[in-house]
Structure 1
Amino acid sequence: MQARWTGQLLLIRSEAGTPGESSSFDFTWFIPAIVKYRKLLGEVMLVSFVLQIFSLITPLFFQVVMDKVLVHHGLTTLDVIAIGLAGVMLFESALSGLRTYVFAHTASRIDVELGSKLFRHLITLPLSYFQARRVGDSVARVRELENIRNFLTGNAITLLLDVLFSVVFIAVMFYYSGWLTLIVLLSLPLYILVSVLITPVLRKRLNDSFARGAENQAFLVETVNGIDTLKSMAVEPQAIRKWDNQLAGYVAAGFKTQNLSTIANESVSLIGKLVTVATLWFGARLV
């Protein structure tokens, strides 16, 4: 070995990286960061739950005013109720501000961690990944991750809280009237039907809109990067024509998506209004 050794040492490492770096990059990639701050997010949910409880207090105050104060002209009772309601509102405002601060601070920490992790993941990808894709495609997908982070740290928590607190609302409604609660419960299949009919088509149109947006992003980035070549070959009119066509397709796809979203929102709104009418009609007949 000493006779053949030239004195040079070659260091070789695998480009695959660690198992964590080579794992699939999907929705579950965000979960560890969320789990890491589960305690703070749990505190935010707890405060939000308390605020939801406070939202029930205001209509109860109005009920007391209508049933007790106005009927019996109890001005002293009105003063007590007004002071109590003002105190509840002050405490609710302070608690809401505290929740917003804690949530914004936690979301910022999650964003920093996910952003750093994303960049490390992007850098460790093999060269073949970037050679097979345009720069604009990668940039567009990185920007779309902002929406995922916002959903996980915002809408997802709100959705979970709404689902949990809907049970409390239904219980309160059932306490007042089982028949009126039944009207609300009977409307739930209609909401589910709208979701089943709209969601598949909306998902398809959103994917098409994203694909066209990524294509526009890629074309814009590549055009700016290669502006010297483009001008030297005097192909500006062709580039403008291609951009106009792609932009028109992207706007049309976004318009179709917005129309479908409007149909879904208005359908849900119509169901809610019909439920309100039915509740008022049956409620008036039950009095």
Structure 2
Amino acid sequence: MDDTLIHNQGLKVLIWVADYYKKSITEDQLIHALGMNSDIPTDWQLRECADLIGLETEYALINQHQFEHLPLPAVIKIDHSWQILIKNDAAQLILIKFTSNNQPETNLFNPNNEDYSVLLIKEKIEKPKKQPFGLSWFIPSIFRQRFQLRDIFILAAVVQVFALINPLLFENIIDKVLVGRSISSLHVLAIAMVGIAIAEPLYSFIRNKIFGYMSVQINAELSGRLYQHLMALPISYFAQRQTGKIISRIREMAQIRQFLTGSTLMLFIDLIFVILFVAILFSYSVVMSGILVGSLVIFFILWLILGPIIRQQTEKAYQSDENTTSFLTESITGIETIKTTATEKYFIRRWEKLLSHQLVQNFKVSTRGITASQLMMLISKITVALLLWVGVKEVLENRMTAGELIAYNMLSAHVTQPILRLAQIWQDFQHTLISLRRVGDILDEPIENESQGIVSAAAVQGKIDFQNIRFRYQPDTPEVLKNLSLSIKAGEFIGITGPSGSGKSTLTKLLQRLYIPQHGQVIVDGMDLAVADTVTLRRRMSVVLQESILFVGSVSENIRLSQPDASDEEVIHAATLAGALPFIEELKGGFNYQLSERGLNLSGGQRQRIALARALLTKPDILILDEATSALDYESQDVQILINDL
């Protein structure tokens, strides 16, 4: 069977199941929503599609005896082809597959004595109201690594057992070998110590390797989830915030990831064994263990006192870092304006002022962190001195042997060292609390389609109606559009003129559902855009802006942006229609010519022609030109021909 047909069936059977659950979706919607380059989904993408529709899925390997109790309908893979599995009225298993002409075909199914790959599907239970962003957001990603966490915990337990045995061996060497003069015991104990010396780093290496691999997986998933959410936010979110501030908040996700998957998780495992070590220490000496536990209480009180102080200063430092990043981003983005207005010195002075404030705030954070660390270290050293003082006294009074004293000090280190590391982790936790709040500014923002339906038409004819539209960008700004009504017939090519600020561009953004009017309706082919799927809607439109943005990559990749699987012939045809082919052929490498950021290694007119080619490639039902030919020569013959053709 043809591979494309096989994989097409994957989407088709999923759409069939979606229809069974009364959920409307099209193949094109799924392909675009997942950013697929073609209609050949992988098994994982098939699950992502189901999640997008509102279905829960789970992979399972099923043998012939388990089909009787299998929840249906399900999707089963037979001969590398996904098919639908149901039961008829006679309780017989039925397979539904799509033929080469996309028609469903049914057959009886009798399972053989083999394992089958089955995708179990059920409708999602309506989720409760979304909780604010916090540490719970990370739990699903960490839970998916539960088996690796189990292995890490087992290996950590083995390493801790070695850490427990070592002091006991030293105790026996001191008390039995040195005091008792037992050479035979020395050989046995020495061999045991060599064995532990080899095994402990080996187990630690395996543990750290698994932990590192798990951390990479969690980090990759968290970064992907954050970026997906960012891309799903409405345009108004970006319009109301500086680019530098958004970038700064994204960077703070690294602080949270590092806190959760770095030394914190390993320390948490170590702290579990601290309780065991403390219990063993009490069996050696109640007095000494009381001193040790008392020092832990002092540590805890210091954390409670210093935590809010460090967090308050860290908040100021983060704000200062954000302001510096925003100003730097703004300066680089507007460097042409800075150069043409000869205001370099002015911007340098502003930069120095911001940088100075940033360094001062960071220095204060560092100073308070160092103060906290040194206080912890002071308590630790006093505790060690007290333990040695009391311990030697216990030995001299024959309540403890010399070997037990050495073993006690070695064991106590496995209590105090994690606590000292916890002091640093506590400081990191203060940073993480701030990062959680700031990253929450992104992740708590509702995504664009969260409150909209997925109503979509098979095609757009192009009849557009604006009915009593009123719109303002901010509640405290004047209305840009006041009770505007406009009707555009399908197939019409119209121009909208007016002075700057009259709402021409705003009108096109309302049509694309980038902004939502405060009053009135935008209707396309009788469909209110308030209940439309914005992704499908925008796929059927193409927009060329006055300031055409191109991305780093080849000319061909930029033209193919909305249709990555377009053939070379289609790309050339679109470039020809846009009048871009002559200058592209003159570029070094032609369509493979590499563009710089924003396409600034091309002229304004060349960028607009490539953007126009990109828009025409998809053969849109609605084409919007927002002063898209402002950088072109209106008098040139090819532009006049292009406008007439459109």
Q: Is TM-score (shorter-chain normalized) higher than 0.5?
A: yes
1:188-199 equivalent positions in 2, closer than 5 A: 188-199=296-307
Give the conservation status (yes or no) of the 8 Å contact 1:44–1:102. Answer: yes
What is the CA–CA distance in structure 1 between the aligned matches of 2:159 and 2:366, rounded to whole Å? 32
Question: How far off its partner does 1:252 sit?
Answer: 0.7
**Per-residue CA shift, 1:83-135, capped at 9, x if unaligned?**
21111121112211111111111111111211111110010011111111111
For residues 198-241 of structure 1, the C-alpha deviation after alignment (integer angstroms, 9 at most, x for no partner) is 10010011111111111111111111111111111111111111
1:56 correspondence with 2:164: yes
Matched position secondary structure for 2:233: coil
Distance 1:138 1:127 in 2: 13
Residue matched to 1:67: 175
- Compute the displacement of 1:67 (Å): 1.2
Alignment match, 2:195: 87
Structure 2: stretches of 5+ with no match in the other structure:
1-51, 55-126, 396-646
The percent identity for this pair of structures is 33
Quote the residue 1:108 is aligned against.
216
2:157 is the alignment partner of 1:46 = no
Alpha-carbon spacing, 1:46–1:277, altered in 2? closer, same or farther (3 Å): same
State which of 113, 133, 154 in structure 1 corresponds to 2:262.
154
Partner of 1:172: 280
Q: How does the TM-score come out when normalised to structure 1?
A: 0.88
Q: CA deviation at 1:76?
A: 3.2
Question: Which of 224, 227, 243 pairs up with 1:119?
Answer: 227
Task: Kindly tell me the number of residue pairs found equivalent between the two proteins.
Answer: 270
Shift of 1:24: 4.0
Check if 1:36 corresponds to 2:144: yes
CA distance in 2 between counterparts of 1:26 and 1:211 reads 20
* 1:37 maps to amino acid: Q
Give 2:284's aligned amino acid.
Y
Q: Tell me how far apart the structure 1 counterparts of residues 243 and 132 of structure 2 sit (CA, whole Å).
A: 21
Which of 236, 239, 264 is the aligned partner of 1:131?
239
**1:45·1:157 contact (CA, 8 Å) conserved in 2?**
no
> Residue 182 and residue 24 in structure 1: after superposition, are their counterparts in 2 closer, same or farther (change >3 A)?
closer
Distance in 2 between residues matched to 1:234 and 1:174, nearest whole Å:
74
**2-structure distance, mates of 1:252, 1:75:** 63
Out of 250, 257, 282, the position equivalent to 2:390 is: 282
Q: Which of 262, 271, 285 in structure 1 is aligned with 2:379?
A: 271
Q: Verify the 8 A CA contact 1:187 1:275 in the aligned structure 2.
A: yes
Q: Is the 8 A contact 1:205 1:256 kept in 2?
A: yes
Amino acid at match of 2:201: S
5 Å-filtered alignment, 1:238-277, equals 238-277=346-385
C-alpha distance in structure 1 between counterparts of 2:262 and 2:328, whole Å: 31
For 1:46 and 1:156, locate their aligned partners in 2 and report how far apart those are by CA, in whole Å. Answer: 17
Q: Which has the larger Rg?
A: 2
Distance 1:50 1:69 in 2: 27
Match of 1:217 in 2: 325
Deviations 1:139-171 (CA, angstroms, capped at 9, x unpaired)? 111111111111111233133223311111101
Deviates more, 1:169-178 or 1:30-39: 30-39
Higher helix share: 1
Q: Which amino acid aligns with 1:224?
A: I
CA distance in 1, matches of 2:334, 2:175: 75
Deviates more, 1:149-158 or 1:86-95: 149-158
Instruction: Give the 3-state SS of the residue equivalent to 1:72 in structure 2.
Output: coil
CA distance 1:266–1:59, shift in 2 (3 Å) = same
Supply the AA of the counterpart residue of 2:221.
Answer: E
Show the counterpart of 1:98.
206
Range with bigger deviation, 223-232 or 88-97: 88-97
Task: Give the equivalent residue in structure 2 for 1:208.
Answer: 316
Does the alignment pair 1:76 with 2:172?
A: no
- 2-structure distance, mates of 1:107, 1:188: 30
Equivalent residue for 2:78? none
Return 27-36 or 230-239, whichever deviates more: 27-36
Long gaps (5+) in structure 1? 1-16
Task: Report the AA paired with residue 53 of structure 1.
Answer: V
Q: Give the Cα separation in 2 of the matches to 1:160 and 1:141.
A: 27
Q: Which residue is equivalent to 1:231?
A: 339
Distance in 1 separating the partners of 2:160 and 2:338: 59
Aligned equivalents of 2:274 and 2:142: distance in 1? 24
Normalising by structure 2, report the TM-score.
0.40
* Secondary structure, counterpart of 2:354 in structure 1: helix
Q: Conserved in 2, the CA contact under 8 Å of 1:140 and 1:214?
A: yes
* 1:163-198 deviation per Cα after TM superposition (whole angstroms, max 9, x unaligned): 311111101101111111111112222112211211
In the TM superposition, what is the alpha-carbon distance from 1:23 to its structure 2 partner?
6.3
